[in-house]
């Protein structure tokens, strides 16, 4: 079987921290092209992950014109996601774009239009769906164990973990801060569990409070307040068409000890679930309340903790399988679009101090 030829656009942190090591474990692919504005980063990525004949580029258009590729992974700032993804699909490549789908909903919609026009597959990098707790919870939601899920919370709270490198603090490049960066993961998980992608309206507020702190305590060293042009926290309340509601909380810096990231809490008519301390299911059985802690690790043997692929590896393998078997990817672009639409609406509601309604 011939291997799928993969090219990477953007050889920075997310490429080296997730995409490249994950793809390196997928036996059906070969990494043959690396593109980055900084040539040294492309060369370094090629050295560690490329084939002997792999090539590097500083211009994505050159890469798409010179190389015959099957798949492209887009690992660049949010403002470039749509442009690069569309160009790759028009060059006859299937595309995985790192989250969020795009900086704006209009850009995200243009990506779906390109996928439809070209017939190429498009997916977005929401790897948290592939965690063990996520897949287990999704299965019981699909089976109806929680009943009608009418209230949920999407959690993305850090106490002091502001990313100070790259363009994370640049509103123009990213479109926002923790809401679009990590809140997007929590919202994706929550909508996926509820299987509900029809928002009616949102209200929300983004704050720029702790960002102004000089010499702040931070996981990656103090940030420069003058360069901190995005929010440090943001919160949204989402009303769905069927009456279900979602509370979304996100922060890079917040005076809170209730820290949890890329997690969801669900409340249904038959039961509830949370990811606060592992995965716990609660409900009522024979007029008696119960709590069920889900044991997701095999363990049970001294000096052996079990084994299992990391979420990013499972994500990469599932994506490649979808291409090879001509099936839908786990993360559908239409689902990712709704996430982006809701995030954009929260930012707009914050700016206008008014609810934002969906057509």
Which pLDDT value is given to residue 271? 98
Which pLDDT value is given to residue 359? 83
Mean pLDDT along residues 122-148? 98
SS3 for 94-115, per residue?
Answer: EEEEECCCCCCHHHHHHHHHHH
Which pLDDT value is given to residue 310? 93
Query: Is 52:74 a contact under the CB 8 Å cutoff?
Result: no
Q: Residue 297 — pLDDT band, cuts 50, 70, 90? A: confident
Instruction: Name the pTM for this structure.
Output: 0.95
Mean pLDDT along residues 59-87? 98
CA dihedral 22, 27, 28, 30 (to 10 degrees): 70
Which pLDDT value is given to residue 1? 66
Q: Residue 309 — pLDDT band, cuts 50, 70, 90? A: confident
Residue 302 has pLDDT above 90, yes or no: no
Supply the mean pLDDT for the chain: 96
Mean pLDDT along residues 173-187? 97
Residue 33 neighbours by CB under 8 Å, 6+ apart: 5, 6, 7, 8, 54, 55, 56, 57, 63, 67, 69
Please state whether the peptide bond connecting residue 100 to the residue before it is cis, i.e. omega within 30 degrees of 0.
yes
Of the chain, the percentage scoring pLDDT greater than 90 comes to: 95
Which pLDDT value is given to residue 305? 47
Which pLDDT value is given to residue 306? 46
Which of the pair, 308 or 117, is modelled with greater confidence?
Answer: 117
Residue 160 has pLDDT above 60, yes or no: yes
Instruction: List C-alpha distances in Å: 199 to 190, 243, 245, 313, 333.
Output: 13, 9, 9, 31, 16
Which pLDDT value is given to residue 308? 53
* DSSP secondary structure of 314-331: HHHHHHHHHHHHT---SS
Tokens of 300: 């049970």
Which pLDDT value is given to residue 316? 98
Of the chain, the percentage scoring pLDDT greater than 70 comes to: 97
């Amino acid at each position: 079987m011939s291997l799928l030829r993969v090219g990477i656009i953007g050889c920075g942190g997310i490429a080296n921290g997730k995409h490249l090591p994950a793809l390196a474990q997928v036996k059906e692919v070969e990494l043959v092209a690396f593109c980055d504005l900084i040539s040294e980063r492309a060369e370094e990525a090629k050295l560690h992950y490329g084939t002997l004949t792999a090539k590097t580029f500083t211009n994505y258009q050159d890469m798409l014109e010179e190389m015959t590729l099957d798949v492209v992974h887009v690992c660049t700032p949010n403002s470039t996601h749509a442009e690069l993804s569309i160009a790759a699909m028009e060059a006859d490549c299937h595309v995985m774009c790192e989250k969020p789908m795009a900086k704006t909903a209009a850009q995200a919609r243009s990506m779906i239009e390109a996928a439809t026009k070209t017939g190429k597959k498009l997916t977005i990098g929401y790897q948290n769906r592939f965690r063990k707790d996520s897949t287990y919870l999704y299965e019981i939601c699909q089976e109806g164990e929680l009943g009608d899920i009418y209230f949920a919370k999407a959690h993305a709270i850090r106490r002091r973990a502001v990313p100070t490198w790259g363009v994370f603090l640049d509103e123009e490049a990213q479109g926002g801060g923790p809401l679009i960066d990590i809140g997007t993961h929590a919202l994706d998980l929550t909508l996926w569990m509820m299987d509900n992608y029809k928002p009616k309206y949102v209200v929300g507020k983004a704050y720029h409070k702790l960002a102004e702190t000089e010499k702040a305590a931070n996981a990656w060293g103090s940030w420069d307040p003058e360069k901190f042009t995005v929010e440090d926290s943001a919160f949204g309340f989402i009303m769905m068409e069927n009456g279900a509601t979602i509370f979304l909380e996100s922060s890079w810096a917040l005076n809170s000890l209730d820290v949890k990231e890329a997690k969801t809490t669900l409340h249904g008519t038959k039961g509830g679930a949370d990811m606060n301390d592992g995965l716990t299911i609660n409900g009522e059985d024979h007029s008696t309340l119960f709590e069920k802690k889900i044991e997701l690790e095999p363990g049970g043997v001294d000096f052996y903790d079990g084994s299992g692929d990391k979420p990013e590896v499972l994500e990469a393998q599932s994506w490649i399988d979808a291409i090879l078997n001509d099936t839908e990817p786990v993360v559908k672009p239409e689902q990712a679009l709704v996430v982006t639409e809701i995030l954009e609406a929260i930012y707009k509601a914050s700016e206008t101090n008014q609810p934002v309604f969906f057509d």
